[in-house]
Structure 1
Amino acid sequence: MGMVYLANDTSGRRVALKVMRPELATEVNFQRRFQKEAEAARRVARFCTAPVLDAGVDNGQAYLVTEYVEGPDLAAVVEAQGPMTGANLEALAVGVATALVAIHQADVVHRDLKPSNILLSPLGPRVIDFGIAQLADTLGTQSVIGTPTYMSPEHATGERVTAASDVFAWAGVIAYAGTGSPPFGVGGAAELLYRIVHNTPRLDGLDDRLLPLVERALDKDPTRRPTAQQVLDRLLGREKVAIETATEVVSDIWDPVEGPATSLAADALRMRRQRQRWVAAAAVLAAVAVVAVLLAVLRSGGVLDQTTDGDPLAQRVVSRNGYNLHVRIDSLRRAGKTVTVKWSVRYEPTDPAGIWEPGNVFGQSSNGPFQYSTDGVVLIDTVNGVRHATANQNGCLCSPLYDKRWKKGETAPFYNSFTDVQTTAVKADIDIPSLGLFDGLPIETE
């Protein structure tokens, strides 16, 4: 969105000055949304937040001024010192929940709550950048705003984002702070969003006193999650706790993080780079192992099959010039009103060398045969006669396999999620552009 500067106001007070990209300020739609969101952010009460002090457009530059918070961000602290425990973890949970109550009372939704947007000041945690993520809506990229690791299921599937999404993110942040790992792991955006929508969060090692509330806040259904106020009430064991009272509790039990912010950030960066070196080394070893497996498989006359275990629901072969694509529908499962189809494509070239060279295999992407865009896949509810478009923007589960030369028999898995499919639907047709229509498939229930 732009740059952030450390500045002084006219009284000499240090502030954070956020200057938006110049090309944005010239857009009329951006200016209108900017003024609206900035004014809403200025109404947020100053409890466990870095409040917005000023906002406007000056000589074509849109800017926001917020209080400067002296302290490292939560991500840097956890990376440098490990998971939080005891009173500080509880104070973090209360402080962030308090900030969300204040933000939501001003009719603002944060939309991008994550460890790097939580600063650990000497007096307790402070949430920053609330409401600012919404400004990117003017760029026409609403579906991708936010950090995948802490997105809610409804955010991941392109549905309306509400205060319940912030509560989901709160739970993800507390799980990360208490265990050192995000509840849905790490990885590429497509894999993360799929896990968030379909998988159970991993909360091993989280403090037993926080576990039940975090589990409730991570419910896939936003209507079943507690509100930020209810989270705060549960944490403090009272009803309708005032945010002033909660702030005092945080100040009383908070133990300031040791070490200056710059030192902690440097430690976190060193650890991150060390992990990256280990990951790179592991990737080399893994690549050697994969090559060995491929050689063994090919020498034995077999093929490498990465598809889902079990019999496919349907399959067919699509012949093109110089190769065959073996298409499988691996599963079609329902979770509430969301139905997900997993499908895969195996590449079988007729060239004796059996190696695919860069080209336009699917006719949809110039990046390779298995980077096919899945946006056009359609589910047809055969009972109610309704067509459903896919909800996921990137439906490839094979991102680690990008930019490679595909060998004979290798398979790429894909998925597509469809929302609001009536529970009366027991069968469906799946229409995959250029690969054909698979009809009469039974919908299983998880």
Structure 2
Amino acid sequence: MRALFNRLCLLTLIGISSSSFAQMQIEISGVGQSLFPIAVTSFMAENNLPAKVTDVVRSDLANTGKFFNIDPGSTVQGISENPDLSFWTARRAQALAIGDVKPLPGGMFEITYRLFDTVKKESLGGTTVQVSNQELRRAGHAIADDIVQRLTGERGIFSTRLSYITKNNKQFQLMISDSDGQNSKVALTSIEPIISPVWSPDGKNVAYVSFETKKPVVYVHELATGKRIVLANQKGNNSAPAWSPDGSKLAISLSRDGNTQIYSLNANGSNLKRLTVGSAVDTEPQWSRDGKSIYFTSDRGGSPQIYRMSSDGEVLGNASRVTFKHSYATSPRISPDGRYLAYIARAGGYKLQLLDLKTGDVLGLTQTNYDETPSFAANGKFILYATRIGSRNVLAAVSIDGSVKQTLSIPGSDVREPAWGPFMN
């Protein structure tokens, strides 16, 4: 079993501040030839902005591995005039996005866009976003989300956020960034490791493990204010926090009674309750999407495997084994729709696997050998994880069918322990 408890944190910064490190770089591979061609013209009056919203929109669409950006050249198109859709069809675009930027009092901007089906020659609607000049990337993400929703029927994930840990020399930082790794900010800096960050369902808090008292302690950190509480500081190891679907509770792993076991407690740290009762090591809890079950890693059968029990604990019945294909399976993560279980298996290396909980089918998603800590995107279509490429510790993302792969790296930094944030509304 991965050593979750042996990584030994003195805090020097709490709250959100700008990062001085380089932004994340994304490399995309595995995309096919059937990409959807779309043209996103420069929005009217966009040059008055400190940054172009349409650059963010085009980048987001390309990062999905499903869209191909038709070069709009120098075309600037506002929504007050009907676009020449035949012109864009001739350039092989099947969809066209145009927009306006309107300044508002108080340094705000109103950005309105419209989407067109160039083949059917019809409008597909659009949206309006009001932002400050510091939030222009958020506007671009919102528009890209709307485009994906209208063209594919799937909810876009560009407005979600990531958390991850960077290590530079002997300094560790908990980072919060946009879904594409850009606009990164420091939430926490430590001279000791920070591990296991996990988002609350409302996206306002991150729970993590800190060693600032020379032992692992679980904290809940409010991102907007930097305020935090000690969630668990029991005797021994306190680790592996996981939020319940409604955010009212967390499951954690504690060694307070000798061997490591699963416990639950309220989000304010009260009402601690032991859930597993065996003599094995039970760790890495994850709630089912209906909150009725908890998946966890246990070596009760001799080697680590993933099991499921009632969220009320094993006293209501024995836990049942879930993984059978591999002799070693850890790090369970449940997809947002509850259909899939992602986990790490020993299969010629430590590789990311996807188990269909309905059919029992298992799909190996990666060819790397040191995969860790998977995390589903909020729409369940991608999985973010940590891995090693050559001598670099990087983050990677893969679509659940394995067809689209991304590598996310920060020059000069060791990056690990990713967690993909939820939808914010």
Give TM-score, length-normalised by structure 1: 0.26
More helix by share: 1
More strand by share: 2
Q: Which has the higher contact order (CA 8 A, sep 6+)?
A: 2
